Amino acid sequence: MIENLDNRKKKILQAIIEEYIDTAEPVSSGNLVKELNCSSATIRNDMAELEKIGFIEKPYTSAGRIPSQKGYRYYIDELLRDDKLTLKEMQYIKSKLETTVNELEDLTKIATTTLSELTHYTTIAIGPKIEKHTILDVKFVLLGSRVMMAIILTDSGIIREAIIKFDEDVTEEQIKNLNNIFANHMVGKPIDQLGDNIEEFITNEMKNSISVIKKIITEIDKLFKESDELYLEGTNKSFDLPEFQKAELAKNFMNVLDAKDLVSEVLNTGIAEDINVYIGDELHDEKLKDFSVVTFNHLLGDKDIGTIGIIGPTRMDYSKVISIMKYISKKLKEDYDDENK
């Protein structure tokens, strides 16, 4: 339910949040008098109302007030204004994204690094899910009598490789048959639609090699289900923030970054081609209650380049973060459209 605030209370709440984001210090009514052109008494009364409905709260050691998670949510949904990027920032983003890459995963990493450099927060990226893409090519190469390399290339440029070792000799003829099977039955099909077809095709076509089939199927299945690689950038920047001068919060932050399954889950909950903001308790995990996460998942044409996120304290400069994310997303789309005209 959205609280019905009058315009003055909206301005006061916005001023409190933006002042606190800038200074990391609790905000008193006296801090806002000049900016809002209201008396200190009027501001105090409205601050009391905002505190009563849970938008701001009083820290134990200060007479000022700070935003609550509920206040931040209202701010993001109702009051947030786009931060205007400087010409220098826009040129920097443009130059970074114009870098030639061979894989979409590399483009995701470049965007992640750029985001961290401009926001000074820790950024996290997870590559596009391989099972959502189409097999462009598959090659099996015999490296020795009992060792084979499998290479899978998808339409998005993702490459997966695996070394497969056998307990018996494998011949060049068997490898040739295997390459033909994949070329005829697998190439051009979405990975997530293959299901048990891999085992069926291999078994039918290589009846004289049943003993090696199980090993091949197991390793290929691992490639298709390979866990997404997390890419972190700017972890050291976060420890310059006032919040992380507290040892307990800094330790919690490092524990969160080490919990790869948790981070992957957060990054994968967003809506495709949308910017998503999760604040503290909205992340539904005790480890994340003191942090905010902002993510976006981007499609270039019909290709998923992965998900990029920022993690930091709830006192995050949401306006700047979201504005930079929007601009990066816009430039990625423009560059892709120009290349595919």
Q: At 210, which CATH number?
A: 3.30.390.10
pLDDT of res. 10: 95
The last residue of one of the domains, among 224, 252, 279, is 224
Q: Are 163 and 276 in the same domain? A: no
Residue 233 lies in a domain: yes
Spatial distance between the Cα atoms of 264 and 230, rounded to a whole number of angstroms = 7
Q: Are 246 and 334 in the same domain? A: yes
Residue 111 lies in a domain: yes
Residue 34 lies in a domain: yes
- DSSP-assigned letter for residue 82: P
Q: Are 38 and 63 in the same domain? A: yes
Spatial distance between the Cα atoms of 223 and 218, rounded to a whole number of angstroms = 9
Q: Are 113 and 252 in the same domain? A: yes
The last residue of one of the domains, among 224, 248, 271, is 224
pLDDT in tens, 14-52: 999 999 999 999 999 988 988 888 898 999 999 999 999
Residue 330 lies in a domain: yes
Q: Are 183 and 171 in the same domain? A: yes
Residue 2 lies in a domain: no
Domain that holds residue 15: 7-79
Q: At 44, which CATH number?
A: 1.10.10.10
Q: Are 136 and 122 in the same domain? A: no
Q: At 267, which CATH number?
A: 3.30.450.40
pLDDT of res. 209: 66
Query: DSSP H helical segments within the chain, as ranges?
Result: 7-23, 29-36, 40-52, 69-74, 87-97, 104-119, 172-185, 197-205, 210-224, 235-238, 247-258, 260-267, 318-339
The answer to whether 320 and 278 are in contact (CB under 8 A) is no
Helices first, then strands: H and E counts in the chain:
13, 10
pLDDT of res. 302: 66
Residue 118 lies in a domain: yes
Q: Is 146 helix (H, G, I), strand (E, B) or coil?
A: coil
| Tens of pLDDT, residue by residue, the chain (341 residues) | 567 899 999 999 999 999 999 999 999 998 898 888 889 899 999 999 999 999 999 987 677 899 999 999 999 999 998 888 999 999 999 998 887 665 666 778 888 999 999 999 999 988 766 666 778 888 888 898 888 888 888 776 667 788 888 888 888 888 888 888 888 877 877 776 665 556 666 676 666 566 677 777 777 777 766 656 678 888 888 888 999 888 888 999 998 888 877 888 888 776 655 789 999 999 988 999 999 999 987 777 666 677 889 999 999 999 999 999 999 988 888 877 777 76
pLDDT of res. 214: 74
Q: Are 239 and 107 in the same domain? A: yes
Q: Are 218 and 237 in the same domain? A: no
Q: Are 212 and 327 in the same domain? A: no
Task: Output the six-digit token pair for 258.
Answer: 């080490």
Q: Are 219 and 232 in the same domain? A: no
Domain count, the chain: 3
Spatial distance between the Cα atoms of 199 and 203, rounded to a whole number of angstroms = 6
Q: Are 155 and 220 in the same domain? A: yes
Residue 1 lies in a domain: no
Tokens 């006032």, residue? 242
Residue 18 lies in a domain: yes
Q: Are 66 and 153 in the same domain? A: no
The last residue of one of the domains, among 199, 224, 249, is 224
